[in-house]
Amino acid sequence: MIACHECDALHRLSPLPEHASAHCACCDARLYHNQPKALSRSLALHLAALGLFIIANSFPFISLKLGGRVETDMLLSGPLALFAVGMGDIGLLVLLTSIIFPLLTITAALYLLLPLHFGQRAAATGAVFRWIQRLMPWSLLGVFMLGVLIAIVKLLDLAQIEVGISLMAFAALLPVAVLAQQSFDSSLFWPHHFEAVAASSKGASVLISGRARQHGLVTCHTCAYLVDEKHWNCPRCDEHLHMRKPDALARTWALLVTASLLLIPANVLPIMTVIRFGQGDPSTILGGVVHLIAAGMWPLGLIVFFASIMVPLTKLLALVFLLVSVQRRSGWRPEDRTRLYRITEIIGSWSMVDIFIIGILTSLVSLDAIATIRPGIAASYFAAAVVVTMIAAQSFDPRLIWDALDEESTQKRVLMEKSYG
């Protein structure tokens, strides 16, 4: 059996056709996938990702030419430039999310996959797999690439831009890294034991009456192993087990309040200052959007507006709505609320695009009296708000949405039994 990680519904594991996926019959979350030659495919993708990552970090990324001067940017230049101007907190965040965490997830996956390919199991497989799952949401290569593209467009009016071989390798890395992440699954290390039950034509597994909690079962949130609730730790990956995430509502509320307070100075104070010939021109997040639109770059302005203003605000409001609905024991449209949670988890990291833009521009535009870009204090507040909202989304437990529905059904059944008893 397997339990849905988003609604706790129990399903029988049934064989699937090649390339088919099994989805939860209640909330439509993907449960498992049948990928032919999954181990060889995942290993090849991770090896390709590592090769492209090494190239992307070994050669010039972007070059800026202005007034006879040339500034060449490596992938590591952005974090180092932020450290140099006293913004170590932002520099560390950019370094972790664009270089260190992606590298760790790729190399750790290869540490597990290479021995498995030769019929061996790596030492501490459970612990390494657990840490890979924790780091994956913080590997923001796609967001960083968007930041690079926006920075290049913003600099086209200022100077001549030359794209280096590292940027091309980084662009090739993105789809490979996405496919590698999708191919990395717990079933590679702990294969499913299918029951003799036919799957439907849509590839959905067979639903069992009730949820795992009602049967005294708990799911490992890391490797999806279903065990008796008496277990304190997962027998496979040694993750600490909980029927539901501890203090999920209180912790999420606290993080949302913190993020809301951080967004105030993040949007009021200057996030970046452009210095031209000794004259500073500080701008806020909204001021930067207005400047882009006024300069005729309205598609770019809209992207920054949605990523830096609308996404954080929408995510806050969505999580508040989910928290209130759970606390009110609402049974209203649980499938749609689960889908809303899924969206908030996906979009939250895209707000980091502004921080990546600042890192790239700070590194490239450092031409002394001609032109210099310096990050403002609002960047620290904004980065902290993005990180806190990402942690808030991870702290919320979507299974609580369905618990309220089960309580409502139980109450109705008890009332019917009393009325007919």
Q: CB neighbours of 319 closer than 8 A, spacing ≥ 6?
A: 252, 256, 344, 389, 392, 393, 396
Q: Pick the residue with more confidence: 25 or 251? A: 251
Extract long-range pairs of 17-25: CB within 8 Å, 24+ residues apart. Answer: 17/203, 20/199, 20/203, 21/203, 22/199, 22/203, 22/204, 22/205, 23/202, 23/203, 23/204, 23/205, 24/204, 25/204, 25/205, 25/207
- Cα separation, 187 vs 32, in Å, equals 8
The answer, yes or no, to whether residue 203 has pLDDT greater than 80, is no
Average pLDDT, the chain: 89
d(CA 271, CA 265): 10
pLDDT at 200 over 60: no
What is the per-residue pLDDT for 206?
58
pLDDT at 321 over 50: yes
> Which single residue is written with the structure tokens 């780091």?
135
Q: Residue 205: what pLDDT?
A: 56
Instruction: Name which of 49, 55, 96 is nearest 74 in CA terms.
Output: 55
| AA identity, residue 58 | S
pLDDT value, residue 377: 95
Q: Can you say whether residue 390 is alpha, beta or left, with left for phi > 0 and alpha for psi between -120 and 50 degrees? A: alpha
Position 414 pLDDT exceeds 60? no
For the ranges 65-74, 210-219, 300-309, the lowest mean pLDDT is seen at 65-74
| Residue 147 vs residues 141, 349, 361: alpha-carbon distances, Å | 10, 12, 10
- Arithmetic mean of pLDDT, 215-226: 91
Note whether 39 and 113 are within 8 A (CB): yes
Q: What is the pLDDT of residue 367?
A: 63
- Return the pLDDT at 192: 74
pLDDT recorded at residue 413: 46
What are the tokens at 198? Answer: 């036919």
Return the percentage of the chain with pLDDT > 90, whole number.
Answer: 65
More confident site: 68 or 400 = 400
- The Cα–Cα gap between 157 and 99 comes to 29
Phi first, then psi, for residue 382 (nearest 5°) are -65, -45
| 317 pLDDT tier (thresholds 50, 70, 90) | very high
The tens digit of pLDDT for each residue in 258-305 reads 999 999 999 999 999 887 766 667 889 999 888 888 878 888 889 889
**Which of the pair, 276 or 25, is modelled with greater confidence?**
25
Mean pLDDT of 17-26: 90
User: What pLDDT is stored for residue 369 in this prediction?
Assistant: 56
Taking only the tens place, the pLDDT of each residue in 75-125 is 999 999 999 999 999 999 999 999 999 999 999 999 999 999 999 999 999
Exposure letters 375-390 (e unless 16+ CB within 10 A, then b): bbebbbbbbbbbbbbb
What is the strand order of the sheet 206-211 is part of?
2-3, 9-12, 206-211
CB 397 within 8 A of CB 219: no
Task: Give the pLDDT mean for 142-169.
Answer: 89
What percentage of the chain carries pLDDT values higher than 70?
90
Query: What pLDDT shows up at residue 201?
Result: 40
DSSP code string of 232-296: SB-TTT-PBP-SS-TTHHHHHHHHHHHHHHHHHHHHHS-SEEEEETTEEEEE-HHHHHHHHHHTT
- Per-residue pLDDT tens over the stretch 355-389: 999 999 999 887 665 678 889 999 999 999 999 99
Question: pLDDT band at 417, cuts 50/70/90?
Answer: very low
Task: Give the span between the Cα atoms of 255 and 390, in whole angstroms.
Answer: 9
Nearest to 99 by CA among 130, 56, 61: 56
Q: Which two tokens stand for residue 393?
A: 């989304």
